[in-house]
Structure 1
Amino acid sequence: MAYGAGNVITKKIVVKHFRVSASAQTLRRARKAAGFLADFPDQRARQFAAALQLVGLEKIELFDEIVLKIERFLPLYFEQIRGLFAYAGIVRSRVSVPFLGELVLVLQYPDVLTEEYLVASGWDAEIARVVVAAVKQSRARFFSINCTDH
């Protein structure tokens, strides 16, 4: 089922999609491997939907394709973020699947989802700074392939 095709992707669509999609299962496994705990399923769902639209993904299934393409890197990426959080003194042990989705989008579209955008969308400034640093390190470390062809 194509969620959001021809329509605006809403918080409700995001929550429903992440309840049943393979990409959500992938994100949950990577979250667990990185040592994060689950948060409420709708936490940051609206902001994830806004980020999808900002980067030009009109269907949530396009996000699923990105997750599939980079799934082998996700546990390492999330572990890196968790480690940088600890180094910066940020205590954040619970993360939602939509927040993980935002992390994937920031990794894929760093020129669009900038530190300034993240803060404007409600992220704590220090968390945004740390995630952007992790993205820079991760892209240099993991992505010799071009995975932004959406």
Structure 2
Amino acid sequence: MYGAGGGRAKPERKSGAKEEAGPGGAGGGGSRVELLVFGYACKLFRDDERALAQEQGQHLIPWMGDHKILIDRYDGRGHLHDLSEYDAEYSTWNRDYQLSEEEARIEALCDEERYLALHTDLLEEEARQVPSGLEKQESLRSERTSG
């Protein structure tokens, strides 16, 4: 990983890696590199009690004394003590700005579109809106006869 001079060593090609011709034959496109992967043996210990405690969240601690918000003791959010500067309603750039009726209507429509997938099965809705093959043929025939 590091060279003799203290800096990073240049990546070397492993002896197990070989370049071969790609799927198109010799010289017919990109080259394929075989990859040698190896690992080390390790011993796994089964501890059902500890696994159950982990599953139930017993390892979590309350954030800032609030038992509704539980975090892992290594969670970086444990270092945040005052979130008021990050709250949207206290930000300084738009504190006094109020939406007009038209802007509020547009924002409501945008929110409806934004969160549509949360409340609606979009694939089912699309299948309902797209006519089947027979219905398409029938509509084309009726257009030809009337036009």
TM-score range, shorter chain: under 0.3
Report the structure number with the largest CA radius of gyration.
Answer: 2
Give the structure-1-normalised TM-score.
Answer: 0.18
Between structures 1 and 2, the one with greater strand share: 2
Give the structure-2-normalised TM-score.
Answer: 0.18
**Structure of greater relative contact order (alpha carbons < 8 Å, 6+ residues apart):** 1
